[in-house]
Every structure is written in structure tokens, then in C-alpha cells.
Amino acid sequence: MSGALSHIRVLDLSRILAGPWAGQMLADFGAEVIKVERPGAGDDTRSWGPPFMQGSDGQSSEAAYFHAANRGKQSVAIDIASTEGQELIKALVKVSDVVLENYKVGGLAKYGLDYESLKTINPRLIYCSITGFGQDGPDAHRAGYDFMIQGMGGLMSVTGEPDGMPMKVGVALVDVMTGLYAANAVQAALLSRDQTGKGQHIDLSLLDVCVAALANQATNYLASGESPGRLGNAHPNIVPYQAFATEDGHIILAVGNDQQFTRFCEVAGKPELACMEAFQTNRKRVENRNALIPLLEPLLRKRTTQTWLTLLAEVGVPCGPINTLEQVFDEPQVVHRQMKVSLSHKQAGQVPSVANPVKFSETPIEYTQAPPILGEHSEQVLKCLLNIEGEDLETLCNQGVIQRG
């Protein structure tokens, strides 16, 4: 069965995480994604370990980091700094629908591989550029990394304990969100192209994405003029909505409305709390957070985490455990939803991967290939798409323009 984007070919010139995440999403949706890498080293994240991926046969392959964002792609190793390599890229652009790149602003122009140059040879091209700060503005030429963007973009100012150090999120969340925005934008541009016949340039920056993803925290500030602070695991607009210590661990209590609060108080043996004027509505509970939370904390400590999970589930009060990753992949719901899959790798046999969360009814995602080894598909792609083979292929290899896996 063909994927939803099986008619689309993507030339992925990106590396690290944001661009490759977008490319992997498009590959999961069925697009043919050709990952162009530097001969010799390839994507930097191939060596970002330990840990390195261990296959079913005990052999190790690339870093687990690389495997997180490059499933389902073909790897072609081309030296774009060479004239011959640039011509190969241009030839591939002619037969591609999308280019993904995350070079510094102007970085590809010196090779003739920028949007303005490539749209002349393929006017239908969708060209997505991902940078730290965007294609224009006073910081456009600065390099941007997820950690520093989480700080500059305000995410760290609302993450962490109130009296502790501002904290980043435990994964490179801005990179991941930028990849998701990029995949969405590419698909929107492809739909537009269906109507107009014209391609376009997509300009995405990590900083813009971080600001946009502040969601209610950003609009809270815009509405009030007051910068929200750090609340640890608490919520700025809902109370009680945070983590609490239990008799043997912790639990997340996520009370979303007044009825749920009433039911929680009944289970906790303190129904009178829900009747007190100061706590009757969410608005009141937010205003009186500092009075309510100390009353709830000793109640939660009286029972184990599992006891609370069972009792609150019975009355429909949202709650949950704080799992380690080992516990995550043992969760019955996660197992049922098949969020761990096994992929075939050329060197390491079968390797694990985290499934895509999107479930299509008519074009289900097919997990056919693990992230490729460097240059694994160089010969195949150049032969099938550009009719380069035999002596011409050997010459390119001998000159160092391409590398075969």
C-alpha cells in the first residue's frame, strides 16, 4: 500500500535534528526522501554517542541520536563544495519536489544551491530553509542551537522551580517542534502548488517557533502585561494541576474543572474543601493557590501512587504516574499502540525505533527501513534518477565527489 505522500520526492540537505525530523516525518508519510550528506563524516549526529545503536546480531551502528531522526531515508554522499557535486545536486533538484536545508543564511548561495538559483531550474520546487533566527533581521546571520533558543525564546523562563535555576526541557523540543512546523508547511506549500503550479520558499526559524509555541503563556503575558514566572510542575491557569508527593513516590493530578475537583475532594476524604468559597471555582483556586496546595499535599501523602491512580480513575479525575522511559515502553497503552517498532538495518540487522504517532486509516505508515549507513544509496539514486553508472560513476567515486556505502 502506498503512503499518503508516495508521489513526492524530497531532497534533504539538512543535518542534526530540526531538518532531519521534518524529513523523517515526510518519509513516514510515504515520501521518497534522499538524504544528501558529506562524504567521510556524513551527518554530525552519526557520531553523537554513546549510546550507539546495537542490532539484533550484536553489531553496533551509528549513534542512537542519528537513528532518532533519519528513518526511511536514502543516503547519498555528495561533496557539494565541488563543481561536480553541485551539478549532481542541481540534477536531483530537477526531478524533486522539495528541498530541506538548514545551512546558515546565504551558506548555499556560494554553491548556487540557494532558492533563487534552484527555482530557475525547477519553478515548482518547494524549498524549506531552517535557521536559528530566520532569513532576515539583526540576528539572521547568527548560529542558533536549541538550548540557547529555549533561553532566548522565553521557554526556560517558565520552566523550573520558582526558587531554582531556569531549566531547559529534557529533549531538544524547539528543534522537534521546528521539524513538525516544517513538515506542515511543506505539505501546505505542496497543496498550494497543486492549485497554482508554482513552488515557493519557506523561511522557518527556531526562535520564531519557540515564541509561537509558548501558547497560553505568551497570550497570558500579552493580555496582562506581566511576565509569567516559573511554577515548577504547576499550571499557570488551572489549580490543582501539578505533581504531588505520595506515600511511595509521585503522582500528577490534573483537575480540569470544578466537578473533577469536587470528586477529588470526596475521594481524599475532605469534601468540605470543594464547598469553601475560596476553592469553589477554578478562578478562585488559581487566586488562592498558595492557600490550597498546602492543604492538599498532606492528603496525597497518605496513600501510595497506585492507590491514588486506581481510586481517581474510578471517579474520572485525570491523573497519572511519572514514568521512567523503561516504564513508558512497558505501559500497556503504549504497547497496544505499537509505539516501538523494529527496523531492518544494513549493518546491524534489526534495530528498534520509536513509531510515528499518526495513525492513518487508508494510508498507514509502513516502517520499511532503518536510518541508512552513509552513502548506502549513492549508486542506486544516481543510476535510477540521473542515469549515471559505469565509468562515470567510478570517476565520481575516484575524485571524491561521491561516496558509496
Domain count, the chain: 2
CA angle 381, 384, 387 (to 5 degrees): 105
CA distance 15 to 35: 9
Question: From first to last of its 405 residues, what are the pLDDT tens digits of the chain?
Answer: 589 999 999 999 999 999 999 999 999 999 999 999 999 999 999 999 999 998 766 777 799 999 999 999 999 999 999 999 999 999 999 999 999 999 999 999 999 999 999 999 999 999 999 999 999 999 999 999 999 999 999 999 999 999 999 999 999 999 999 999 999 999 999 999 999 999 999 999 999 999 999 999 999 999 999 999 999 999 999 999 999 999 999 999 999 999 999 999 999 999 999 999 999 999 999 999 999 999 999 999 999 999 999 999 999 999 999 999 999 999 999 999 999 999 999 888 899 999 999 999 999 999 989 999 999 999 999 999 999 999 999 999 999 999 998
Pairing of strands 349-354, 340-345: antiparallel
Does residue 208 fall inside a structural domain? yes
Whether 26 and 121 map to the same domain: the answer is yes
52 neighbors 30 (Cβ within 8 angstroms): no
CA distance 55 to 342: 10
What are the grid coordinates assigned to 16, written together? Answer: 542534526
How confident is the model at residue 35, as a pLDDT? 98
How confident is the model at residue 60, as a pLDDT? 72
CATH number of the domain within which 197 lies? 3.40.50.10540
How confident is the model at residue 1, as a pLDDT? 55
Whether 373 and 257 map to the same domain: the answer is no
Does residue 262 fall inside a structural domain? yes
CA distance 193 to 190: 5
Give CA separation, 103 vs 125, 133, 378, in Å.
18, 12, 22
Which structural domain range is residue 199 located in? 9-214+368-403
How confident is the model at residue 143, as a pLDDT? 93
Whether 68 and 123 map to the same domain: the answer is yes
Picking from 304, 321, 338, the residue at the C-terminal end of a domain is 321
How confident is the model at residue 348, as a pLDDT? 86
Q: Which of 124, 129, 119 is nearest to 182 (CA)?
A: 129
Whether 199 and 258 map to the same domain: the answer is no
Whether 170 and 303 map to the same domain: the answer is no
Picking from 284, 303, 321, the residue at the C-terminal end of a domain is 321
For 313, the 3-state DSSP assignment is helix
Picking from 321, 355, 383, the residue at the C-terminal end of a domain is 321
End-to-end CA distance of the chain: 28
Whether 210 and 254 map to the same domain: the answer is no
The b-or-e profile of 14-25 (16+ CB within 10 A means b, else e) is bbbbbbbbbbbb
What are the grid coordinates assigned to 1, written together? Answer: 500500500
Whether 19 and 168 map to the same domain: the answer is yes
Which amino acid type is present at position 137? G
Does residue 335 fall inside a structural domain? no
Give CA separation, 357 vs 78, 96, 174, 327, 340, in Å.
32, 27, 18, 18, 10
Does residue 276 fall inside a structural domain? yes
Whether 159 and 268 map to the same domain: the answer is no
CATH number of the domain within which 282 lies? 3.30.1540.10
Whether 311 and 388 map to the same domain: the answer is no
Whether 313 and 195 map to the same domain: the answer is no
Whether 163 and 298 map to the same domain: the answer is no
How confident is the model at residue 61, as a pLDDT? 77
Q: Summarize pLDDT for 176-211 with one digit per residue, the tens.
A: 999 999 999 999 999 999 999 999 999 999 999 999
Give the catalytic positions in this structure. 175
Whether 43 and 179 map to the same domain: the answer is yes
> pTM (2 decimals)?
0.94
